[in-house]
A and B are shown apart, each in its own frame.
Chain A
Amino acid sequence: MDIQELETGQVTVLAINGRIDSTNAIDLGNKLRALYAQPGRRLLLDLQEIEYISSAGFRTLLIALRRAADTGGRLALCGLTSKVRELFDMGGFLDNFSIKPTRDEGVNSLA
């Protein structure tokens, strides 16, 4: 898993590449925890290059969502491929997250 971080106005975009599973979910969790250490952080996770996400990855995202709420921040996702979207659907996560089709729409929704 590779993570590319960039700032777009008030929004921090994390473009994640590869797979999110039990071998790297802790690394992603640490990264997200560090970002939400700043109150009011607006974070967009671009999952366009994600090919697989396991239950460990979903748990990490749920924890990030909780942390965003606790710190007055916000979290949105964008760029889900059809197969990753199917995993979100199967896990019952489509309603939990704010999911936008593209990065631009994701940034606009958080701006």
Chain B
Amino acid sequence: MKKPRNIVYGVDDIPPRGVLLLSGVQHVGLVAIFLLVPVIACRQAGMPPEKIIDVLSLSMLVMAVGPILHALRRGPVGSGYLCPPIFAAAYLPASLLALKAGGLPLMFGMTIFAGAVEIAMSRVLRPLRPFLPPEIAGFVVAMIGVTIGLLGFRHIFGIGLPEQPGAASYMVAAATLALMVGLNVWTVGAPKIFCALIGMVAGYLMAAAAGVLPAADLHRLSAAPIAHLPSIDHLGWSFDAELVVPFVVAAVAASLRAIGDLTICQKTNDADWARPDFGSISGGALANGIGTFLSGILGTIGLNTSTSNVGLAAATGITSRYVAFAVGGIYLTLAFFPKAGTIFAIMPAPVVGATLLFAAALVFVNGLIIITSRMLDSRRIFVIGLSFMLALAADVFQPFFSQLPAGVRVFTSSALVVGTLAALLLNLVFRIGVRRTQTMQVNPAAVDTYQIDEFMQTNGSAWGARREVIERARFNLMQSIELLAESGVTQGMLTVVVRFDEFSLDVLVSYNGAPLELPERRPTNEEIISSYEGQYRLAGFMLRNLADRVQVNNRSGHTTVAFHFDH
């Protein structure tokens, strides 16, 4: 793992205490709004405000454990990254169904069930890897960016919120966003790494000055007790088989989101990142499942990883997993001091919107970078393109999707779920007919360079191989054919076999003739200039060095040169 230049404190770096604390506050502040998800569910259940404080406190206990579970690296639990979870909006529709059918005990019981599903899924993610290629992980990440961005705009424009914003609210949102982006782009050091926190504080002050803080929120703040030991009287659990499907779909969505978020974490922390590491992703998905299981036990809503936090970590350059312990500590403290927690929970909508937009921009572009790191043939283009269109349609044409039969509707609950399921399904369909081994005959007396180019490009795209690896293999193939043709080692046809799996690309060139010379020492310039022999040795030297491994076999006059490229 190679730390990128823009990362100030990498995943294993231990920042100074002040940085840890402020960074933790920044992360808590960013997603404090999601504490409202269980509050919304409890209000739907008709729970009195004094009991909701208990739910909020217990929810914060879950939020304290979640980031720490994720940051662990020993044993099967944990991704080893700073990836704080939040209460999942994906669980809200299923939870509301449970509330309607059986009240809070059913919601809590089904959340435990969903946690068990996530735990089980985390154990089979590795074998499922061929069905979850990097471009789909990139697509999920990009879609998460879109989802967060739209959520940000919902807060700024007041869509679905009880109070409609006015000009002052728009000004607060614009100024907050401009401050965060400006600090991130044009400053260095503390202003850059705490740009989101500075923006949030400034946003709060501007909202107060502009009269944008709702009176009801201020009342909630004054009514909240300073210190409070949460009661567990309201807890109870039940199960209903009819609710299995919506909770399984939510669990699958949470697992897919974890794959996307942890892919961003890995890519953010490694300048040499090539593909998702499913060992770390499985550990993260397991941590997420345990978190959701615990949510059900402590009477709140299921968790999933927070793309906003992952985006914030990348934007500020503080990706140290030790920040997760600070985040956990802050939530633990807030669990027993509801008034402090309420300050975060009543963050003004324009400030929340600006902060989400700030994180969304980075997440979205990260997704695009992951998608385009792979060569895309027409199959993959349709997988990504059609899935993206379907996901957008689910958001834009909500009334149409809401009229679908209940059995279908559970799969169309959000743009993210629709897009992800479509991508997985299309990827499965388009795997039909893609061969992992391809063969080509080449006449060294009449080399068709266009044919060789086409052969490598077409297969590289069909396999979704990394561009730079295909380029190196293409050079090796062209140079080895040229060398064989020019040096007169063989007169007959050459057979080229190219094999691919996600971890290696092998190019085998077979011919009747003596083995190629692949010297370890570069010939001198004088040797290269003075004879064609020197030029051939240069070609052999470059062939050896461009491949990660080379093997030459000769049996009864038939030679095979095998170039291996790590992928």
* Set of chain A residues within 8 Å of B541, measured between Cβ atoms: 91
- Top-9 shortest CB links A-B: A55-B539, A55-B538, A59-B535, A90-B545, A92-B522, A22-B486, A55-B535, A90-B542, A22-B482
* Set of chain A residues within 8 Å of B468, measured between Cβ atoms: 83
Q: Is the CB of A37 closer than 8 A to any CB of chain B? A: no
- B residues touching A (Cβ–Cβ < 8 Å)? 447, 449, 468, 471-472, 475, 478-479, 482-483, 485-486, 522, 525, 528-529, 534-536, 538-539, 541-542, 545-546
Q: Is A56 a contact of B486 with CB atoms below 8 Å? A: yes
Tell me the nearest residue of chain B to A59, going by C-beta. Answer: B535
Please tell me which one of the listed residues B472, B522, B536 contacts residue A91 in the complex, with CB atoms under 8 A apart.
B522
Q: Is B482 a contact of A21 with CB atoms below 8 Å? A: yes
* 23 A-B pairs whose Cβ atoms sit less than 8 Å apart in the complex: A21-B482, A22-B482, A22-B485, A22-B486, A23-B447, A52-B475, A52-B478, A54-B479, A55-B536, A55-B542, A58-B528, A58-B538, A59-B528, A59-B535, A62-B528, A63-B529, A66-B529, A83-B468, A83-B475, A90-B542, A91-B522, A91-B542, A96-B525
Given contacts A52-B475, A54-B478, A90-B542, 12 further A-B contacts (CB under 8 A): A19-B449, A22-B485, A55-B538, A58-B538, A59-B529, A66-B529, A83-B468, A86-B472, A87-B542, A90-B546, A91-B542, A92-B522
| Interface positions of A from 1 to 26, Cβ below 8 Å from B | 19, 21-23
Please tell me which one of the listed residues A23, A52, A62 contacts residue B529 in the complex, with CB atoms under 8 A apart.
A62
Which bucket holds chain A's interface residue count?
Answer: 20 to 34
Within the assembled complex, what's the spacing in Å between the Cα atoms of A63 and B530? 9
Distance of A71 from chain B, by nearest CB (Å): 16
* Set of chain B residues within 8 Å of A52, measured between Cβ atoms: 475, 478
Task: Determine chain A's interface SS by DSSP, over half rule.
Answer: helix
Within the assembled complex, what's the spacing in Å between the Cα atoms of A87 and B479? 11
Within the assembled complex, what's the spacing in Å between the Cα atoms of A58 and B540? 13
Within the assembled complex, what's the spacing in Å between the Cα atoms of A19 and B449? 10
Distance of B140 from chain A, by nearest CB (Å): 29
Tell me the nearest residue of chain B to A25, going by C-beta. Answer: B535
Q: Is B538 a contact of A91 with CB atoms below 8 Å? A: yes
* Set of chain B residues within 8 Å of A87, measured between Cβ atoms: 475, 542
Distance of A42 from chain B, by nearest CB (Å): 21
